Homo-oligomer: A and B are copies of this chain.
Amino acid sequence: MTPNAASARILLIEDEAPIRRFLKIALGSAGHETLEAGSGREGLERAVIGNPDLIILDLGLPDMDGKAVVREIRSWSSLPILVLSVRDGEAEKIAALDAGADDYVTKPFATGELLARLRVLLRKRGDSEAQPSTVQVGPLSVDLARRLVTVGDQEIKLTRKEFDILALLARHGGRLVSHRQILTEVWGPAHVDDLHYLRIAIGHIRNKLDDDPASPRFIVTEPGVGYRLLS
């Protein structure tokens, strides 16, 4: 059974050292390699540079809200996330799962069950496989993980929102993304009607990418609907 469930790189984001040590041993005995992070910020860094196959995330971190960590990671990767928490509240579970987590286990947990749930998440690895975290459109390249944009060899410096928009378009690979969708994803649901924000931001991006809306190299306007990347 489970041939490719063995020997994965697992990133463990957990602030309590004893639990981290315990899990490291448990994971090791199951044949996994462990990367460790003691805070949300550190976890995000390691997720980018450590290239893990799966992330185990404790919700009760000191520096960040766990759900925010999930959303951050989901903004550039679909790699499996198993959330660990002492909180057994239903609302908490639902929120974490809807933020993008793939499973939720309540502490204290049974080690065997945890390992079984990891196997479930890992055996999907083969199927969906390695989507590249960098998108190419002609001379334009968008590195979702490093938040780096280049045209040719020229690095383009985008602001946070500008990058978020471009990344969203890039992740949809040439398909149309509606105004509403961009606004809710980038500005939040409260700003679905602030269309001019979007127009101005798109204007800035085009300006930096040296893109002409009349005959676009990269970003195409679909009047009344939204934007899409040329593919």
Contacts and interface: CB of A to CB of B under 8 A. Distances in A.
Contact of A176 (B98, B102, B127, B145): B145
B127 A78 contact: yes
Contacts of A124: 124, 128
A112 B91 contact: yes
A25 interface: no
Interface stretch (A31-39, A208-216, A222-230): A222-230
A97 B112 contact: no
Interface stretch (A46-54, A58-66, A115-123, A199-207): A115-123
A98 B116 contact: yes
B90 A117 contact: no
A117 B98 CA distance: 9
Interface string A96-121: 01100111000000101101110110
B97 A225 contact: no
Given A116-B93, A116-B94, A127-B78, A223 B159 contact: yes
Contacts of A98: 1-2, 116, 119
A224 B160 contact: yes
A147 interface: yes
A175 interface: yes
Interface centre among A101, A113, A115, A228 (most CB of B within 10 A): A113
Nearest to A223: B160
20 contacts: A1-B98, A2-B98, A78-B127, A90-B110, A91-B112, A94-B115, A94-B116, A97-B113, A97-B119, A97-B120, A98-B116, A101-B120, A102-B120, A103-B103, A124-B124, A124-B128, A145-B176, A146-B175, A146-B231, A147-B228
Interface of A: 1-2, 78, 90-91, 93-94, 97-98, 101-103, 110, 112-113, 115-117, 119-120, 124, 127-128, 145-147, 159-160, 174-176, 184-185, 222-225, 228, 231
